[in-house]
Structure 1
Amino acid sequence: MTQSLTIRRPDDFHLHLRDGAMLQGVLPETARHFARAIIMPNLVPPVVTAKDAAAYRDRILAALPEGARFEPLMTLYLTEGTDPADIAAAHASGLVKAVKLYPAGATTNSHSGVRDFDKVRGVLEKMAEIGLPLCVHGEVTDPAVDIFDREAVFIDRVLDPIRRATPGLRVVMEHITTEEGVAYARSGGDDLGATITTHHLIINRNHILAGGIRPHYYCLPVAKREKHRLALRAAATSGEARFFLGTDSAPHVDALKEHACGCAGCFTATNTMALLAHVFEEEGALDRLEAYVSLNGAAFYRLLPNEGTITLTKAGPAEWPAKILTGAGPVTVFDPGFPVHWHVET
């Protein structure tokens, strides 16, 4: 049995760092293991222009622990007023690596997102022309659609029509959670990729609701039935280049999670690599872990793989803090609910 595995340093292609005291508190958890991350732009106010992205990048770099080696890959928040010329200039400068599409009201800080997709057609056409990826939160917000069906309906109603209307548009289906998401990602050719989170490989909807409401397992898109979790595990561990890691690690202080109307998000930055080694070992796919976390996403974003390495070793039970104490308040670290024996050495 494999007791040690050395891989290229991984990347996280979907990460929330927030800002201010929260940024200061959670950034070291990602920078410890990851070389780069696609940074989500849903701040308040959102990161909508190149100027916004440059300022946010500067704040991230200023918050890095001394000696840390980490590159934030910046994104812009797509609104109905986004200027295609600003998008193109930001991409040409090397600052911006993707644009994020939030359907208005779909998740945390998404209220500035898109309601009328015809109003962003010009931006999408420009993105297709210059090869800039569109990162998609793939859920409809129609209240008539059951929350467990919103991803599948989004593919049919929104994503597929957008891609058909915009040939050449490079799209990342972020945090897919269903069999339908896996199947559509496989149907899309080289211009379509998909990220899968750590927590969606581990929990299904029972973990949120059975035996009491567990707010630290509540996320959006919400975890689905067990058959969907198994489809995600098969996809992530398949070695297929279209699937790669995006943790969607999303810190909220405990007071806002353990609340009558709690926030959506699982914070997995601290223990993702140990958890993924556990999952890939269970699936007999440790030899494919490097592709999932270090190679596939970089290739889709047209980046070179990282030169550095990390080593994972299997030993006694792994331990990590139950909470990360930040200046904004405590943030609970995702608990898989089972012992993990993988450790990360950098």
Structure 2
Amino acid sequence: MSKEITITRPDDWHLHLRDGAMLQGVLPETARHFARAIIMPNLVPPVVTGDQAAAYRDRILAALPKGMAFEPLMTLYLTEGTDPADVAAAAASGLVKAVKLYPAGATTNSHSGVRDLDKVMPVLEKMAEIGLPLCTHGEVTTPEVDIFDREAVFIDTVLAPLRRRLPELRVVMEHITTEEGVAYAAEGGPNLGATITTHHLIINRNHILVGGIKPHYYCLPVAKRERHRQALRRAATSGNPAYFLGTDSAPHVDALKEHACGCAGCFTATNTMALLAHVFEEENALDRLESFASLNGPTFYRLPVNSGQMRLVKHEQPQVFPAKIFTEAGPVTVFDPGFAVQWSVEA
């Protein structure tokens, strides 16, 4: 016998679409299931100004296949030259929903990011004044800090001091990966939220390293120990409104993943909702999937909940998902959870 659940149509609160041929190839994979998504601005060159965000939004909408409904929620890339007045104007127009903080060198296309937080305080103060969220890639990049400790050190040395300095600033801890991240978000109050990715609920660092290096499991922040994965599962399935879905689905062509210096990112847009149904069922929390995927994010971003619905069905037999998405930029490997999945999105 099959089982099914119906939830409010979900949103993705952290998404990479890239640009050009890659954008055209991967956008349908998100738009098929998600009504809206927070679009990451780390293009080359980055999306820094309101005019650049408007132009990027136009390119996204132009790439949307006919008959699909999808709203890109735009963000600005925070640099040490960002103009507070431009940020405020872009937010006031309704175009920009957040500003993204990349510590310089933290991840893909982050070389234009922030090195000295004091230099962006005028922007952050303006954001706190107008209620515009700051999305953080929460890792330090100092060479002496181990890559598996970068998130915890960021919380202690950057995020906590910033929030003490600007308590009214609304912050999203994006793609948390540690027990420390889970605990800090739980105690942060209404001005703090945290996104959790699909792949960090499924893989730990063994999946990347045991039996040979698996480049398609390599992401940043890198997957951590099993105890951290379990903490993320407890958080995502808890119903706590501090946690919501941000897939961080990040397409790279296979040639750049399967490489001597492979790119970081897991492409999960195609099968995220089926995988989440599997995870939430394993945790006896299917009744909380809607909160995580569809309700908590809009509440934090002060946006209306979607009016549409999604039906997820569990079948007797495992479902088949494409191994790759073929784009004009090149093939992109779809995240493989490593286990059979019986769930699918039916409507």
TM-score normalized by the length of structure 1? 0.99
Identical positions, percent: 82
Rounded to whole Å, the distance in 2 between the matches of 1:27 and 1:167 is: 36
Rounded to whole Å, the distance in 2 between the matches of 1:229 and 1:71 is: 31
Q: Deviations over 1:173-226 (max 9, x none)?
A: 000000000000011100000000000000000000000000000000000000
Question: In the alignment, residue 204 of structure 1 is paired with which amino acid?
Answer: N
Cα deviation for residue 318 of structure 1 reads 1.1
What's 1:155 paired with? 155
Question: In the alignment, residue 332 of structure 1 is paired with which amino acid?
Answer: T
What's 2:97 paired with? 97
What's 1:331 paired with? 332
Cα deviation for residue 167 of structure 1 reads 2.0
What's 1:294 paired with? 294
Question: In the alignment, residue 331 of structure 2 is paired with which amino acid?
Answer: P
What's 2:8 paired with? 8
Cα deviation for residue 61 of structure 1 reads 0.2
Q: Secondary structure at the match of 2:142?
A: coil
Q: Deviations over 1:218-270 (max 9, x none)?
A: 00000000000000000000000000000000000000000000000000000
Rounded to whole Å, the distance in 2 between the matches of 1:27 and 1:132 is: 26
- Note the 1:165-204 alignment, pairs <5 A: 165-204=165-204
Q: Secondary structure at the match of 1:212?
A: coil
Rounded to whole Å, the distance in 2 between the matches of 1:200 and 1:186 is: 18
What's 1:211 paired with? 211
Whether 1:277 and 2:305 are equivalent positions in the alignment is: no
Cα deviation for residue 128 of structure 1 reads 0.4
Rounded to whole Å, the distance in 2 between the matches of 1:157 and 1:191 is: 19
Cα deviation for residue 2 of structure 1 reads 7.7
Q: Secondary structure at the match of 2:68?
A: coil
- Note the 1:201-240 alignment, pairs <5 A: 201-240=201-240
Aligned pairs, number = 346
Q: Which runs of 5+ in 1 are unaligned?
A: none
What's 1:248 paired with? 248
Q: Which runs of 5+ in 2 are unaligned?
A: none
Rounded to whole Å, the distance in 1 between the matches of 2:326 and 2:163 is: 42
Rounded to whole Å, the distance in 2 between the matches of 1:69 and 1:291 is: 22
Question: In the alignment, residue 272 of structure 2 is paired with which amino acid?
Answer: T
Rounded to whole Å, the distance in 2 between the matches of 1:3 and 1:128 is: 45
Rounded to whole Å, the distance in 2 between the matches of 1:121 and 1:166 is: 9
Q: Secondary structure at the match of 1:158?
A: helix
Rounded to whole Å, the distance in 2 between the matches of 1:158 and 1:276 is: 31
What's 2:140 paired with? 140
Question: In the alignment, residue 160 of structure 1 is paired with which amino acid?
Answer: A
What's 2:341 paired with? 340
Rounded to whole Å, the distance in 2 between the matches of 1:148 and 1:257 is: 20
Rounded to whole Å, the distance in 2 between the matches of 1:327 and 1:345 is: 28
Question: In the alignment, residue 333 of structure 1 is paired with which amino acid?
Answer: V
Question: In the alignment, residue 148 of structure 1 is paired with which amino acid?
Answer: F
Question: In the alignment, residue 146 of structure 1 is paired with which amino acid?
Answer: D
Q: Secondary structure at the match of 1:190?
A: coil
What's 2:308 paired with? 308
Rounded to whole Å, the distance in 1 between the matches of 2:151 and 2:340 is: 31
Cα deviation for residue 55 of structure 1 reads 0.2
TM-score normalized by the length of structure 2? 0.99
Rounded to whole Å, the distance in 2 between the matches of 1:125 and 1:19 is: 31
Rounded to whole Å, the distance in 1 between the matches of 2:319 and 2:36 is: 24
Rounded to whole Å, the distance in 1 between the matches of 2:283 and 2:2 is: 13
User: Root-mean-square deviation (CA), in Å?
Assistant: 0.7
Question: In the alignment, residue 105 of structure 2 is paired with which amino acid?
Answer: G
Q: Secondary structure at the match of 2:14?
A: strand
What's 2:113 paired with? 113
Q: Deviations over 1:313-341 (max 9, x none)?
A: 01021111100000100000000000000
